């Protein structure tokens, strides 16, 4: 998922599905992680000038180096553990990208690495928190649902709640309270800045958010793998900026756009109304005000629960907040779906050939000037 303009943050998630050994007592055992972090879930909440660190982890046997250097190891010890030669160029690359640090002859993994035990504990704690939060945010979810019903856009509740509130306003709340790291490209951090971490096992079939648009306007798109390619084609549409500028004025008369794959998206109803929510970020927009209260509650839960020691890996308090919030976001989504507050659009599972089936995944936001 990634943000541009209004949030100026990029969250890159790379998931790799691994085959796990069977077990007659699987319920009592945690999955065995591959001894290679390139096969784990790699997450970068960052801004970049060149690239994200993913490529450095995946090059050569670098993922194995990072796995075996978690508690510190010399070059010789790494080679013994891996059963393979380790080149100085590999170690230099990992240090250049701040994934590995050196103390004398000892190399130490410089990012949080959350294996099954840590991930299991963190997710259980976040699940418990989500269970506490759910009844408190229910009234605000209902307000958003009611407002969308008034706008004849009830089928957008999931995308509004996930992409706009949980995966959007929550990060804004945490940033405004300085609870998560500031990110700047500097001479010390010339390639990327932010937080990069690895975890295993990954979550499966969870949605993501893509965002694009001109200054002050953002098109949010809720995606899963079955719909990602089509939404990316819309994101790359040549006339997208002018379409968003028109929609921001809530003038969708005859609004239609051809995407990068030459498919036509009809985005207005018979009465000229937009067939997707346009959320104005000010006190007069009921979706924004209710979403802010939900985001405030989630941000408060993150701040009140210190996960720094559990996350480890040299993570700062702010980086621990970030990692915990990322997990809490999914747990809140799971509980509101499970309790029937919102229903996931079937297209996220099935995919669709018709662009009309994808419109419930779209939300437009307009910043308050």
Q: Do 174 and 105 share a structural domain?
A: no
Q: Examine residue 198 and state whether it is found in any structural domain, yes or no.
A: no
The tokens for 350 are 């099935």
Closest by Cα among 290, 280, 287, 249 to 366: 280
Tell me the residue range of the domain where 61 lies.
10-114
Q: Examine residue 333 and state whether it is found in any structural domain, yes or no.
A: yes
Question: Would you say 363 and 156 are in contact if contact means Cβ atoms under 8 Å apart?
Answer: yes
Q: Which pLDDT score, from 0 to 100, does residue 58 have?
A: 97
Q: Is the dihedral of CA 174, 177, 178, 184 positive or negative?
A: positive
The tally of domains found in the chain comes to 2
Q: Do 247 and 128 share a structural domain?
A: yes
**This prediction's pTM:** 0.87
How many CA atoms within 13 Å lie on the side-chain side of 148? 25
Cβ neighbours of residue 77 under 8 Å, at least 6 residues apart?
68
Q: Which pLDDT score, from 0 to 100, does residue 8 have?
A: 35
Integer Cα distance of 282 and 120 in angstroms: 39
Q: Examine residue 123 and state whether it is found in any structural domain, yes or no.
A: yes
Q: Do 120 and 108 share a structural domain?
A: no
Q: Do 172 and 267 share a structural domain?
A: yes
Q: Examine residue 324 and state whether it is found in any structural domain, yes or no.
A: yes
Beta strands in the chain (DSSP E): 10-14, 41-48, 73-74, 100-103, 106-109, 113-114, 192-199, 208-212, 217-223, 256-258, 264-266, 278-281, 362-367
Q: Which pLDDT score, from 0 to 100, does residue 121 have?
A: 96
Integer Cα distance of 319 and 129 in angstroms: 19
Residue holding tokens 């796990």?
20
Beta bridge partners of 74: 106
Residue holding tokens 């419109």?
359
| Regions in the chain scoring below 50 on pLDDT | 1-10, 13-28
Q: Do 292 and 154 share a structural domain?
A: yes
Q: Do 313 and 237 share a structural domain?
A: yes
Q: Examine residue 22 and state whether it is found in any structural domain, yes or no.
A: yes
Q: Do 153 and 98 share a structural domain?
A: no
Q: Which pLDDT score, from 0 to 100, does residue 51 have?
A: 85
Q: Which pLDDT score, from 0 to 100, does residue 82 have?
A: 97
Convert the pLDDT of each residue in 208-258 to its tens digit: 999 999 999 999 999 999 999 999 999 999 999 999 999 999 889 999 999
């Amino acid at each position: 998922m990634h943000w541009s303009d209004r949030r100026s943050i990029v969250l890159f998630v790379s998931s790799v599905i691994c085959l796990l050994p069977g077990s007659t007592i699987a319920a009592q055992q945690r999955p065995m992680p591959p001894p290679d972090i390139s096969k784990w879930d790699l997450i970068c909440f960052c801004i970049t000038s060149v690239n994200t660190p993913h490529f450095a982890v995946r090059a050569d046997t670098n993922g194995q180096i990072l796995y075996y250097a978690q508690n510190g190891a010399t070059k010789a010890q790494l080679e013994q553990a891996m059963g393979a030669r380790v080149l100085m160029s590999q170690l230099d690359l990992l240090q250049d990208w701040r994934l590995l640090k050196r103390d004398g002859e000892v190399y130490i993994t410089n990012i949080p690495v959350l294996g099954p035990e840590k991930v299991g504990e963190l997710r259980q704690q976040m699940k418990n928190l989500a269970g506490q939060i759910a009844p408190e945010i229910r009234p605000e979810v209902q307000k958003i649902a009611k407002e969308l019903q008034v706008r004849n856009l009830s089928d957008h509740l999931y995308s509004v709640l996930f992409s706009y509130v949980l995966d959007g306003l929550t990060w804004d709340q945490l940033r405004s309270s300085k609870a998560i790291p500031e990110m700047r490209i500097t001479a010390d951090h010339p390639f990327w800045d932010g937080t990069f971490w690895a975890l295993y096992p990954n979550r499966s079939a969870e949605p993501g958010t893509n965002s694009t648009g001109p200054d002050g306007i953002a098109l949010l798109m809720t995606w899963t793998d079955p719909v990602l390619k089509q939404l990316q084609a819309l994101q790359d549409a040549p006339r997208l900026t002018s379409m968003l500028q028109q929609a921001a004025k809530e003038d969708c008369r005859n609004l239609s756009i051809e995407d990068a794959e030459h498919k036509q998206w009809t985005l207005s109803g018979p009465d000229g109304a937009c067939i997707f929510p346009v959320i104005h970020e000010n006190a007069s927009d009921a979706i924004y005000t209710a979403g802010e209260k939900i985001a405030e509650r989630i941000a408060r839960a993150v701040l009140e629960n210190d996960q720094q020691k559990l996350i480890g890996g040299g993570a700062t308090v702010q980086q621990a907040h970030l990692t915990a919030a990322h997990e809490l976001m999914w747990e809140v989504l799971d509980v509101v779906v499970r309790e029937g507050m919102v229903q996931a659009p079937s297209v996220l599972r099935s995919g669709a050939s018709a662009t009309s089936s994808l419109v419930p995944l779209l939300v437009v936001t307009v910043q308050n000037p």
